[in-house]
Amino acid sequence: MTDPSLKPLLDVRGLTIRFGGLVAVNNVSLSIRSGELVGLIGPNGAGKTTCFNMLTGVYEPTEGEILLCDKSLVGVAPHDISSRGISRTFQNIRLFKSMTVLENLYVSMHHEREYSLLDTILRLPRFAVRERALHDKAMEILKVLGLDRHANTAAASLPYGEQRKVEIARALATTPKLLLLDEPAAGMNPAETAMLATYIQQIRKDFDLTILLIEHDMSLVMKICERLYVLDYGQLIAEGSPETVKCNPRVIEAYLGGSVGEAHV
Amino acid sequence: MNYVLQITQLLGINIILAASLNVINGYCGLFSIGHAGFFAVGAYTSAAASVLWFPGLAASHPDLALLLVVGVGALSAALAGLVIGVPCLRLTGDYLAIATVGFGEIIRIVLLNLESVGASRGFPGIPLLTGARLPLWILFFTALSLLAMHRLIRSSTGRAIISVREDEIAAQSMGIDVRFYKIFAFVLGAFFAGLAGALFAHYSQFLHPSNFTFMNSVMILLMIVVGGLGSQIGAVLGAIVVTLLPEVLRFNETLSGIRMLIFGAIMVLVVLIKPQGLMGLFHRRKKVGVTAV
Amino acid sequence: MSEFVQYLVNGFAQGSIYALIALGYTMVYGILKLINFAHGEFYMIGGFVGAFLLAKFGLPFWLVLILVMPIVGGLAVLVERIAYRPLRNAPRIAPLITAIGISIMLLEAMRLIAGAQPRAFPQPFEDVIYEVGEWIPSLDGVIVQRSQMMIFGIAIALMLVLNAIVMKTKIGRAMRALSMDFDASRLMGVAIDRVVAFTFLLGAGLAGAGGVLVGMYYNQIEPYMGQLAGLKAFTAAVLGGIGVIPGAVIGSFILSISEALVVGYSESSYRDAIAFAILIVVLMFRPWGILGKPERIKV
């Protein structure tokens, strides 16, 4: 599936960020090849979401480089990131609550609407044609995730598990090359998590994606991730296949070794 | 009959005003309470156009002149919206509200001191332009404005604006240039407020800065709060209620005297009891998305 | 030089009054992140209640000052209970709207009761004018009124009392905790409703005192006085750093002295515009004010 001789899709080198005196992420380097499904794990507060925030332009790194298909992402405005090919979901669901599921996806497709303000105000034929096209594309995505029956339901009224899936669908609607999933299984029961695992693998195939996943649910991680990076206190402490990482003493210590009241970043 | 005609025209103007503020506050979620400022810019620039810049046209081709001055008013207000919006819209919530109040007041104070438009004496002698046809023109512009705003909201641009209200950070990540769309919504709202202002100037034929105070901005806000934030129909209903209420109260002298007190009470009560406003009475909680109405 | 000092004197007197109002804005904002649009009306009501007590009962000035504070404070507690507390978990725009509504109601109520025209504030005592030139020859021409000294003195005294309350009492500590981290404080068991009510009581009480002092200083009061003064005091609070108590005081004096200097040296009618100008400038370049800190949003 992935050719080791190809250049990596995502190349992160020496990523560091300081907030005042606090170093939240320290010299992190990752490399992800096209088509891979990679996990980013580590105890709470290790800096995983902060890394995502830097990859998506929400924070600017203090040091380091982020290359997507060999082009730097550092300094790119957050709203331009998606046109570069990265999309993400959020740790705490951030759906557009009073919009329907379809409308949530339409927002992601704004940059490909292909009609002008004039078309909009005068309702020229192109408007209806393109709106239809957006509708059809969005429905395709929803079908893959089993959400098509909710298409016209308000996002806020869906059950939690479905909302998490809508977040993924919305991210997919930007046609990304690289999808960042931030704790997609949070709050899900084992049955839902197992379904999620299937969905994630399905979308990787159907949409030709590369996926980087933050997750605490080890059953999901072990099941679908091909490779893992482990972060602790902002630093990379291990890297490798799930089996290797699982047995790594430093990793075990990071998860179990700290005292109950340890400070979080 | 004359009275009814007057009220209808005022109603049309207020409907456009309320709908325009709804774009900014209701759809984009920006708390702007200086809207009377844009109304003022539209009113005064269009009046200046009729009286000072194109008096000849006003006399010879009133219909054309009306179109022209309405355009002048709307575009000037839109420009004001841009000038004010670009620095202000970097601010969040409460700070934005205060900044808009500040700018609204600045506009009023400037007009109060500007000799060319009458300063504190007011701006008299604005021509009625199309005479008996003015009510029809106002009706036309009201319908046109509502239609234009409706179409803009029910489109990808409208969804972008709404997504900014719903969750800025998510909107950014999905590719929406939040800063751009805030300014866009603001300028759009200012444009239509200016349009309403131009109509008002020629309906009233006299302008004074005291028509455009903070209280006036609050009244416009009251219209959309009563009607239901984020709903165009709500804005229309709210405008109708707020415009007609003082007229209804006129029949009882005591009530008329405490009219402002009643408005204040309505603001408090609506938010406490029925925050979805009048629209909340119609909509059941089975939502059909934001772009339905 | 004399002119400059005179403007300073005037500025300090006026600034004391702004400070008494600004403190209320900043305390409420610090805890609830709410701009209490109705706050200026408490100042206005204080002036009227003070005038009433002086005229109707002939009470001594110091007693009137002491009585006005809890009366106005009590009104504020009532307002909070009715119009803000139910909305504590509502979107931020909601209490902002009710605050405006309450402001309108209070203003209109007073206008209906007392009439829209300014009315004279009863003179509790003879004002004395001190000519500074008698003691410091280089400052010949500078005059300080006894009323100005009283205002400054009383305001400072009240601020010291406030400081003692906020720094040294249990409830003051609760106020500070709430303003630093509302949710954590709640989880720690702070009696939110009580502390918030107390904050409103204090803030409005100070503003009410300010109203009495201003009535005494300018010899008149009117229902609309809360609007402009409220906006200026709010500007002062924002300038100093909204939510930061010392900031309200600093901002107030900076504003009032700037006003005095500009009016004094340029004789302009743009005095009121200065507050707006300062407000806009602060919001554009440093919205968190002199002593405030920028907020960070967590993603």
Q: Work out the angle at residue C28's Cα, subtended by the Cα atoms of residues C23 and C30, and round it to the nearest 5 degrees.
A: 90
State residue A259's pLDDT score.
39
User: Which of B24, B90, B92, B94 should be substituted to probe chain C, the one whose Cβ sees the most C Cβ atoms within 10 Å?
Assistant: B94
The answer, for B152 touching chain A at a CB cutoff of 8 Å, is yes
Question: Are B156 and A110 within 8 A, CB to CB?
Answer: yes
Of A127-136, B239-248, C39-48, give the lowest mean pLDDT range.
Answer: B239-248
Q: Is the pLDDT of residue C267 over 80?
A: no
Query: Chains A, B: CB contacts under 8 A, how many?
Result: 109
d(CA A85, CA B79): 35
- CA-nearest of A106, A108, A96 to A156 is A96
Q: Are the C-beta atoms of A200 and A107 separated by less than 8 Å?
A: no
A154 near B CB under 8 A = yes
Place of tokens 């949409």: A207
Whether pLDDT at C7 is above 70: yes
Residues of C within 8 A of B30 (CB-CB) are none
Residue B209 is which amino acid?
A: P
**Per-residue pLDDT for B287 more than 50?**
no
pLDDT of residue B93: 76
Alpha-carbon gap, residue C23 to C244, rounded angstroms: 9
Query: Rounded to the nearest 5°, which phi and psi values hold at A185?
Result: -95, 5
pLDDT of residue A66: 93
Of the listed ranges B12-21, B227-236, B246-255, the one predicted with least confidence: B246-255
CA distance A161 to A179: 19
**Confidence at residue B159, expressed as pLDDT on a 0 to 100 scale:** 96
The most distant pair of C-alpha atoms in chain B lies apart, rounded to whole Å, by 57
On the question of pLDDT at A111 being above 80, the answer is yes
With residues binned 3-state (H G I as helix, E B as strand, rest as coil), the percentages for chain C, rounded to 5, are 75, 5, 20
CA distance A139 to chain C (A): 29
Domains of chain C listed by start with CATH number: 2-285 (1.10.3470)
Return the structure tokens found at A84.
């570069």
CA pair distance C256, C241, nearest whole angstrom: 16
Does residue A187 register a pLDDT over 90? no
Beta-bridge partner residues of A15: A28
Q: What is the pLDDT confidence band of residue C239, given thresholds at 50, 70 and 90?
A: very high
pLDDT at C278: 87
The string of pLDDT tens digits covering residues B142-186 is 999 999 999 999 999 999 999 999 999 999 999 999 999 999 999
| ipTM value | 0.88
In this predicted model, what pLDDT tens digit does every residue of C152-187 receive, in sequence order?
Answer: 999 999 999 999 999 999 989 899 888 888 888 888
Of the candidates A229, A228, A224, A174, the one whose C-alpha atom is nearest the C-alpha of residue A204 is A224
Tell me the residue length of chain B: 293
Q: Are C297 and A94 spatial neighbours (Cβ–Cβ below 8 Å)?
A: no
Band the pLDDT of A67: cuts 50, 70, 90: very high
Question: Which residue in B has a C-alpha nearest to residue C101's C-alpha?
Answer: B264
For A54-86, b/e burial (b = at least 16 CB within 10 A) is bbbbbbebeebebbbeeeebeebebbebbebbb
CB-based contacts of A264, cutoff 8 Å, min separation 6:
A44, A45
**Is B155's Cβ below 8 Å from some Cβ in A?**
yes
pTM of the predicted model, to two decimals? 0.88
Tell me the per-residue pLDDT of B108-136, one tens digit each, with 9 for 90 and over: 988 988 888 888 888 888 888 788 888 99
Average pLDDT estimate for B135-144: 95
Residue of A58, A141, A177, A211 whose CA lies nearest to B172: A58
CB within 8 Å of C205: residues ≥ 6 apart = C69, C70, C72, C73, C76
Q: Is the pLDDT of residue B282 over 70?
A: no
- pLDDT score of B20 more than 60: yes
| Number of CB atoms found within 10 A of residue C78's CB | 12
Cβ contacts of C299 on chain A, cutoff 8 Å: 49, 53, 58, 90
B21: CB partners within 8 A, 6+ apart: B32, B35, B189, B193, B220, B221, B223, B224, B235
B201, B10 in Cβ contact below 8 A?
A: no
Q: Which of A94, A96, A120 sits opposite B155 (nearest CB)?
A: A120
- Report the distance separating Cα B142 and Cα B15, nearest Å: 7
Sign of the C-alpha dihedral, residues C284, C289, C290, C294?
Answer: negative
C273 or B205: which leads in pLDDT: B205
Touching check for B210 and chain A: CB below 8 Å? no
